[in-house]
Amino acid sequence: MPPLRTALLQSSGTPGDIAKNLEILDAHAADAAAAGAGLLVSPEMFLTGYAIGDGIHRLAEPADGASAQAVAGIARRHGIAVVYGYPERDGEQVYNAAQLIGPDGTRLANYRKTHLFGCFEQEWFTAGDEPVVQAELGGLRVGLLICYDVEFPENVRAHALAGTELLLVPTALMNPFQFVAEKLLPVRAFESQMYIAYANRTGPEGEFDFAGLSCLAGPDGIARTRAGSHGDDLVLADADPDFLAASRAANPYLSDRRPALYGSLTR
């Protein structure tokens, strides 16, 4: 099975301007596809911006809204799957969400962030309650988490046990938490034996300063590619199912688990 070349878009786009952010996504999808990528992952809340206050509710859309249709057009035009972060409206609730659109424009998966970070997110969003959302893409089982979610080992392990091979994580990691991108992400990939694609925002926005350092970490705990700590970037690396299978065969973490001992973790 051939590797899935994965492109990570590191950018904060233009906060508050959906049309401009769709233009940016379109341009980078073209570049990624030209470089042989089958998947483009953009950051958390890329569609609208993150630190936009009540703009979050004003710009929120349903999962099948106009912006989803626009991203589907981008995916079809360039023949590349796209993950994008956005505020999802469902009735009176607004979720911090990420959606995966297939290369033919089909909506493959939609995930709502389950662990909201800090007072800002807790004020503006409702937490999701579905921990594992997956889809099949390019011969791999891919899963979705968002930023803070991946910092909980239980979340990543749940994906590993459900068969996720490539975990896609749109992110808005802020300074001074650079160690999450630099240290924690490769460890998560190693301990749960999967690839993790982590696409971050960058630079100042409102009260936040985003840390960049987008990366794709492999099951050996090594980052295959990494963007810098400042500035927009598009970086690419392969998620190789054959390497993953060999790594899982050599690393006994998943097979050596003793679940009967862990009941106290959920009590």
Confirm if 6 and 233 have CB atoms less than 8 A apart: no
List the catalytic residue out of 44, 61, 88, 205: 44
Classify residue 231 as exposed, middle or buried by CB count within 10 Å of its CB (0-12, 13-18, 19+). Answer: exposed
Q: From CA 94, how far away is CA 142, in angstroms rounded?
A: 24
147 part of the active site: yes
Classify residue 200 as exposed, middle or buried by CB count within 10 Å of its CB (0-12, 13-18, 19+). Answer: buried
End-to-end CA distance of the chain: 41
The encoded tokens of residue 156 equal 């990543």
List the catalytic residue out of 113, 121, 205, 215: 113
* Residue 189 Cα distances to 97, 107, 169, 184, 219, angstroms: 22, 26, 12, 9, 5
44 part of the active site: yes
* Residue 230 Cα distances to 21, 137, 206, angstroms: 19, 30, 16
List the catalytic residue out of 147, 165, 205, 215: 147
The encoded tokens of residue 265 equal 């973790």
Q: Which residues are catalytic?
A: 44, 113, 147
